[in-house]
A and B are shown apart, each in its own frame.
Chain A
Amino acid sequence: MKIEKNAIPALKNIPHWFDIVSDKNGNSFTGLRAYRQSAFEDFNRLGFPNKKMEKWRHTDLSASLSFDYSLATQDFNMQDVLSDVFECDVHDLESFVVNLYKGRFVFKENNLFTLPKGVIVGSISAAFDQYPELIEKHFGKYGKTDKNAFHALNSALFLDGLFVYVPKNVIVEKPLQLINAVGASDDVFVQNRNLIVLEEGSQLTLIHCDDSYNYKRSFTNSLTEVFIGDNASLDHYRLQNINNNSTLISSLVVEQERNAQLSTNSIILNGGLIRNETYTKLNGEGANASILGVYLADKNQHIDNQVFVDHAVPNCTSNEQFKGILDDYARAVFNGHILVRKDAQKTLAYQNNANIILTDKAVINTKPFLEIYADDVKCSHGATVGQLDENALFYIRQRGISEDNARMLLMYAFAADVTQEIKIDSLRDRIEDMVKKRLRGELSICDQCVLQCSSPEKYNFEIDMSKI
């Protein structure tokens, strides 16, 4: 359904931006212009989603779209950007860092690197020129521009993003970290497009951080297309900590071949409106997808997680686990969809969404949804909405721990089901630390910003040991 054009200020610049973008980028790559054009037409047909759409019933974008955003079109050199913007605060994390600022690539000298063993990492717009054959094979093949308005908008307007190519049987030891930061003097509209290609038997760990470093409003629409070849494995993390004025639509679209392993973990710490869409198609037998998430929301934040797992072939497994804690006026939405196609026998699928509501003002809407067309399957789902267990609370307090700390401990343990699954030690420690801070309300106090917060000491519970 289309909304009146003049009702959405954010919409009015889009045709103009489209003209700028389609003239500017990747023109040496044949087909891109046509792709953008058709995506733009799709977007014009689809329009921005509204609450009358089933998938957007509980997420209202009208407030986010009521501003006049600007598009960052210039390239950034490292010197132009505050150097500390990208100072990662995950201590001891050795990673290869790639920075995007307002959706544009930030580079020192080069914007496309070839690492040892033929791994390619860098700007996708540079890759259009240098590796057209790799791009052609995978780019635009997984996103659904004809059905998803944000995929269409992204395809029409993206300027840059991350491109990763891991050749056959190459194991990338060091995690790759993509930091996408927004915030500057103006309200920005960011379309960020990433493509990750893992060839047969390869392995990669990717940390995708979305951060804002001031209170400036932003609207980010990120689309990440991922191809995981036979026996390849991707360990993916989404770390989202943006200010309360920002909107983030983050789509991850994955195609998994035979025995491909996907593990994706969304850690949502702060954000005005965050919507994560995760689609994975299990396209080869033996593929496994593990999709986890934890969201901690307070104030007027709105967190929306949409997961679609498509079991297209037999003998695949999937596991979804989302946990959320809602405080103040926060709203959360979970929409899990497992599709088991005809003949996708011996499918094993599990889906769970657990929520804790701390106030009478917070709202959760959850819809775990199964659509099954094969008979020899084991699919189950569960959803709960509740509170901290009074008995557990009593038990802890009985042992001399203050009520506040006891509540903290329980909430922390609740989130730990997901955070413990983080495989990188330093990242896990940091996230657990941030979860603790977030639960104490410190993270939203300290200027919204994890990037500037660099206290290395670990937080200890204020438990008076002498009382135990």
Chain B
Amino acid sequence: MAQDDKQLIQEVTQSEYKYGFITNIETETAIKGLTEDTIRFISLKKTEPEWLLEYRLKAFAKWKEMKQPNWAQLKIPEIDFQEIIYYAAPKRKKELESLDQVDPELLDTFNKLGISLDEQKRLSGVAVDAVIDSVSVKTTFTETLSKHGILFCSFSEAVKNHPDLVKKYLGMAVPPSDNFFAALNTAVFSDGSFCFIPKGVRSPMELSTYFRINAANTGQFERTLIIADEGSYVSYMEGCTAPQRDENQLHAAVVEIIAMKDAEVKYSTVQNWYPGDKNGRGGIFNFVTKRGICKGDHSKISWTQVETGSAITWKYPSCILSGDNSIGEFYSVAVTNNHQQADTGSKMIHLGKNTKSTIISKGISAGQSQNSYRGLVKMTKRATNSRNFSQCDSLLLGDKCGAHTFPYIEGANKSSIIEHEATTSKISEDQLFYCQQRGINQESAVGLIVNGYAKEVLNKLPMEFAVEAQKLLSISLEGSVG
């Protein structure tokens, strides 16, 4: 590699995290450590019904028997689960009705992120359920949505106002004992978003939640539940940035999607939590369980993710295609830089007949990072005439990083077709040369190629998100390259 090439990549890959700041909001925190009492405290604080407390305690009992998974291609520093504060809520005096009542510091935070609530409200017509730390602070556009019968609120409100729905669907896609982090989440989840789209309703706007991790030493345990009833459609967006600090923070969220007959859910994520500094100090541990069930026939769940942040990412958005003719999709761009580690991918479990799934994963590793794709495609005996196509590409920038691919493919019937392909390479010198020949400077050329490489996935994002995602790609990798 030419010297200036190397220099360029270095410049490009060493730009600092631009979204690092701390919001000073008073927080009310539970005592450190995890015992049954902690769970009772959380449940009490949130004035939860008895069944939910029992549900949590059961999950906690399961969790105590489980071991932290170590199969991922990740080096995870030991986590002391007793050193974590399991509940932090910004102190509030009363329910908020308008933006004026929101803490001005909080509004300022959103302004810094360029996603201020009022701007969102005025310009994009997006309803924002902003979650700072663990309690939902402000929900907008509820009125518009309620006209259509769409329920979109914080999880705790849902527990209060729609306990039947929550009770019916909670844990359907991710049972409490599913895995170590899901069990932990089930035991201690603080808040999250709840969304219910009634029969035949097409959501008039894109629903969105911005997550932020705030109080120091606070684990975030978000719980999201999205239910799309028969023939409905919703596009849901989740995006996040986190302030810069040195101590590692644990984030173990659970997202469940249930799509009934003919329903379609499109879930998009842009994740840009603090990845740690250039020397691998600090950063968020992002251990997320995301799973959707295509319960009814002809249903569809589509996951799109742009992962640029977090020190460690452990995340496998999955689809269980149990309805006949259902469709599962997964589009992912994962960027790792410096000392970041990512082990991410998707699981497609084909149970119904004529089910289809697509996996497109683009990994980009730079610096000394490790980026792995891990996926499972499983065709059961009953899933006749099913189809899967997977493509996992990795791009390596620099000679100290790693890119790995672990696809698990299981076929158990004679009429399904599974195709998997993967490539790993560096930026093609021919492509670079071609661009430069046409008067594009090297820096722009690298940007162009990386963007083009990720385009297939970025195109799947909703408009509002695509812009931010492209910006994030630039910040994570390209430095001044736009």
What residues make up the interface of A, taking CB atoms closer than 8 Å to B?
54, 342-343, 345, 355, 357-387
User: For residue A363, which residues in chain B have a CB less than 8 angstroms away from its CB?
Assistant: 410-412
* Cβ-neighbour of A357 out of B73, B407, B413 (below 8 A): B413
**B426 to A381, Cβ gap below 8 A?**
no
Closest residue of chain B to A359 (Cβ to Cβ) is B414
B398 interface residue per 8 A CB criterion? yes
Query: Among B1, B379, B381, B402, which residue has its beta carbon within 8 angstroms of that of A373?
Result: B402
Asked if B425 and A368 sit within 8 Å, CB to CB, the answer is no
Q: Are B401 and A360 in contact (CB under 8 A)?
A: no
The interface residues of chain A lying within 8 Å CB-to-CB of B420 are 368, 381-384
Q: How far is the CA of A374 from the CA of B365 in the complex (A)?
A: 11
Taking residues whose C-beta sits less than 8 angstroms from the other chain, chain B's interface range is 35 or more
Kindly supply a per-residue 1/0 record for chain B positions 407-425, scoring 1 wherever the CB is within 8 Å of any chain A CB and 0 otherwise: 1111111111111111111
Q: How far is the CA of A89 from the CA of B404 in the complex (A)?
A: 44
Minimum CB distance partner of B410 in chain A: A365
Measured CA separation A367–B421 after assembly (Å): 11
CB distance from A129 to the nearest CB of B (A): 46
A368 x B410 contact (CB < 8 A):
no
Chain B interface (Cβ < 8 Å from any Cβ of A):
1, 71, 73, 379, 381, 384, 394, 396-426
B415:A370 contact, CB within 8 angstroms: no
Which single residue of chain A is at the shortest CB-CB distance from B403? A372
CB proximity of B412 to chain A, nearest CB, Å: 4
- Assuming the contacts A371-B404, A375-B401, A387-B414, asked whether A366 and B409 have C-beta atoms less than 8 A apart, the reply is yes
Contacts of B396 in A (CB 8 A): 372, 374-375, 377
Q: Which of chain B's residues have a CB closer than 8 A to the CB of A369?
A: 404-407
Q: How far is the CB of B376 from chain A (nearest CB, A)?
A: 9
Q: Which residue of A lies closest to B417 (CB)?
A: A386
Nearest-Cβ distance from residue A182 to partner chain B, whole angstroms: 31
Tell me, in angstroms, the Cα distance from A379 to B422 when the chains sit together: 8
Q: Which residues of B contact A345 (CB under 8 A)?
A: 399
Question: Shortest distance in angstroms between A285's beta carbon and chain B's nearest beta carbon?
Answer: 17
**Which B residue sits closest to A371, measured CB to CB?**
B404
In the bound complex, CA of A207 to CA of B365 (Å): 43
Partner of B425, one of A364, A377, A381: A377
Chain B min CB distance to A468 (Å): 30
CB distance from A300 to the nearest CB of B (A): 15
Please, how many angstroms separate the alpha-carbon atoms of A386 and B404 in the complex? 25
Q: Which of A359, A361, A379, A385 contacts B423 (CB 8 A)?
A: A379
A387, B414: Cα distance in complex, Å: 7
**A381:B405 contact, CB within 8 angstroms:** yes
Partner of A375, one of B381, B399, B404: B399
Whether B407 and A383, one on each chain, are in contact in the complex, defined by CB atoms closer than 8 angstroms, is yes
Contact B405–A385 (Cβ < 8 Å)? no
Cross-chain contact of A370 among B401, B418, B422 (Cβ < 8 A): B422
Report the Cα distance A368→B404, complex, angstroms.
Answer: 11
Docked CA distance A146–B281 (Å): 35
- Beta-carbon contact of B399 and A383 below 8 Å: no
Which A residue sits closest to B412, measured CB to CB? A363
> Does B416 contact A385, Cβ atoms closer than 8 Å?
yes
* B417 adjacent to A372 (CB under 8 Å): no
Contacts of A370 in B (CB 8 A): 394, 403-405, 422, 424
Whether A342 contacts B400 in the complex (CB less than 8 A), given A385-B416, A386-B418, comes out as: yes
Given contacts A362-B414, A365-B410, A372-B394, are A381 and B400 in contact (CB under 8 A)?
Answer: no
The reply to whether A365 and B409 contact each other, CB–CB distance below 8 Å, is yes
**Known contacts A360-B381, A381-B422, A387-B414: A374-B407 contact under CB 8 Å:** no
Q: How far is the CB of B276 from chain A (nearest CB, A)?
A: 20
Known contacts: A385-B379, A387-B415. The answer to whether A376 contacts B399 by CB under 8 A is yes
Our pick among A362, A368, A375, A384 for the contact of B417 (Cβ within 8 Å) is: A384
Q: A359-B414, A371-B404 are in contact. Are A384 and B419 (CB under 8 A)?
A: yes
- Chain B hits for A54, CB < 8 A: 71
CA distance A385 to B389 in the complex (A): 11
Instruction: Judge whether B411 and A355 touch: CB under 8 Å.
Output: yes
User: What's the Cα separation between A448 and B185 when bound, in Å?
Assistant: 55
In the complex, residue of chain B having the shortest beta-carbon distance to the beta carbon of A345: B399
Q: Which of A371, A382, A383, A385 has the most CB of B within 10 A?
A: A385
